[in-house]
Amino acid sequence: MIKLKLVSTKPIFKNNRYKLLYSGSNYYLIDKDKSWFAYIFFGLNWLIPQEVYTINKDIADDLMVQRTDVKQGVRGYHILMVIMIMIFNIASPYLLNTILLSKNVKYSQLYEMNSSLTIVPTNSYIFLMLLITFVPALIIRVSESFRLRKLMMKCIKYNQFPVIKIKIIPTSMSVVIRYLGAYFLFVLLIILSGYLLIVTEGDWIISLCFMLLSLFFLLTNRLSINADKYKISESR
């Protein structure tokens, strides 16, 4: 019989890539960006074992201490991200047209439907438009991950601590249902915004919405361990 242990969670100061788990005198640090499955389907991330670092109470307490330098760095970083998003969104139509001209990609094609001809965008054009809008979200997501890792490494060299594999199981099905609902809502919104982006031929407001939704979806893995309490079992 698998023995389950109840653990509580604590956030790291200004660093949502990591989470503290503790039960009694046992403390664990988990890197939520390390699980590839969480990027695909964070709502069921608890089904697979997670790698955690075993740390002591002093280190755990230190990670939760507020730091002035971290606050200032976070503010400046977020301002830079907003500026980057606006620049990408403004420049993306020009970038798309440049690629279309350089690669001789057709913008539209005639499509016959019910004895009538309709002009529709080509598959290549649709792919490039979605890709150019999505890439900035991916770049921002990757840079955010590296930034938070750098902040953590300034506090502790966590990769030098012992690693064990555990399964982190929600304490109730209501948590799982909420996660699944949030996941499918994000997927539906991304599909809808992608469709509107194609229909409106790259309208900048729809483009901005698609980019932000893509960014938020890439960040949903941070929700995989977001409740106050979990049950854990050591994986062999």
Q: What is the pLDDT of residues 73-129, one digit of tens each?
A: 566 677 777 787 777 777 776 776 676 656 665 665 555 556 665 566 777 777 888
CA angle 212, 142, 70 (to 5 degrees): 95
Domain residue spans in the chain? 5-234
Return the pLDDT at 53: 92
Percent of the chain surpassing pLDDT 90:
10
pLDDT at 61: 85
Q: What does the pLDDT average to over 42-69?
A: 80
The CA angle 11-13-15, to the nearest 5 degrees, is: 80
Q: Find the DSSP H helices in 42-172.
A: 57-63, 68-103, 123-155
Q: In the predicted model, what is the mean pLDDT of the chain?
A: 80
Write the pLDDT tens digit of every residue in 169-212: 888 888 888 888 888 898 999 999 998 988 887 788 888 889 88
Mean pLDDT of 125-145: 85
| pLDDT tier for residue 1 given thresholds of 50, 70 and 90 | very low
Distance CA 165, CA 67 (A): 30
